Amino acid sequence: MNGLPKVIATVNFKGGVGKTTVTWLLARIASENEPVLVIDADAQMSLTTAVELAEETGRLSEDFERWFQNHQDAQRTLLDAIDRFTRQGGHFDFPIDRRVAFQVHDRLWLIPATSELYWLTLEVFKRDQMQSFVPALLRKLARAGMGFRYVFFDCPPSFTVLSFSILTNCDLILVPVNPDVFADRGLDILLGGLELHLQPHPFPKVAVFMNRARLYGGRFTQETNYYWEQVQEVCNRWAGKRLSIRPLGAFVPERANIRRSIRRGGKIPDEFRQMLHRLWKEIQEFLIGG
């Protein structure tokens, strides 16, 4: 991945932890200064619909819906790229044009998911061949003049061959946890599963942070603090196995209305933006400094 963008994969196999929301909001923060690409790798299309769904109509926004139809008709989808790559034995001539990624604004682009990605759960694609798909796609984008500084992947809640390619080629696995009984156990299960599935490839860096933290007087509530301490213990145990893992000091507070901020053009409240900036700064420091 030398010379290619920094790749961040947001992962949690438990649904409802806010993985999709935080992936998009962090990408928006990062794109304030650097060109950023977001790839929705989840067949449920959670990120794609969250960003582009118009509340008034319950449909995708008109300009995106037109673009998305062209995206599919021209066979420029993520699944089309995977199909071309695997059929050509790892060397694919996949055309890169404006139908590949949707331009959200000057420095932010989105490659949406399609429901056909469900087929990736089947043993249709060879795992070893798929391993090099992500760097091949990013090289293709770079050669086409799409010079992204960061690429964010919103990973599916199940482990697919696409997940395997993403996670064996990313620079950082980002794991959001919630203040509940699944926080530490879920993290331990996730890391154990990844250790098994990613072998013999090296484990990327892992950053864990508290999402939807409940606060009182600007600090964690006693309950949130308890679960965060349990998560820190899991991180320390895995660090003892020489995994580069860090529980981040920055966090994302619980806000009932924050989902409205992820829609294209949605405004992120100033206080919430400051917290996201702190989280993004800490992620960057971990990426660069180790």
pLDDT (mean) for 179-190:
96
56 pLDDT band, cuts 50/70/90, is low
Residues counted in the chain: 290
Residue 136 resides in a domain: yes
C-alpha–C-alpha distance, residues 227 and 225, integer Å? 6
Q: How many angstroms separate the CA atoms of 130 and 123, rounded? A: 11
Q: Is 100 exposed, middle or buried (0-12, 13-18, 19+ CB in 10 A)?
A: buried
pLDDT digits (tens, 9 = 90+) for 102-142: 999 999 999 999 988 887 765 556 777 888 999 999 999 99
Q: Which of 8-17, 99-108, 232-241 has the lowest mean pLDDT?
A: 8-17
- Continuous segment of H or E residues that includes residue 208: strand 205-213
pLDDT attached to residue 154: 96
Range of weakest confidence among 47-61, 150-164, 171-185:
47-61
The answer as to whether 195 is a domain residue is yes
Higher pLDDT, 90 or 93: 93
Q: Is the residue at 182 inside a domain?
A: yes
In terms of Cβ atoms closer than 10 Å to its own Cβ (0-12, 13-18, 19+), residue 197 is: middle
DSSP 120: G
Q: Which two tokens stand for residue 113?
A: 């998911």
Tokens of 3: 């010379």
CATH number at residue 163: 3.40.50.300
112 lies in a domain? yes
Query: Is 1 inside any structural domain?
Result: no
Q: Which domain holds residue 267?
A: 6-289
In a domain, 282, yes or no: yes
Q: What is the mean pLDDT of residues 184-197?
A: 95
Of 6, 22, 30, nearest to 177 (Cα)? Answer: 22
Query: Domain for residue 225, yes or no?
Result: yes
Whether the pTM exceeds 0.85: the reply is yes
What's the total number of domains in the chain?
A: 1
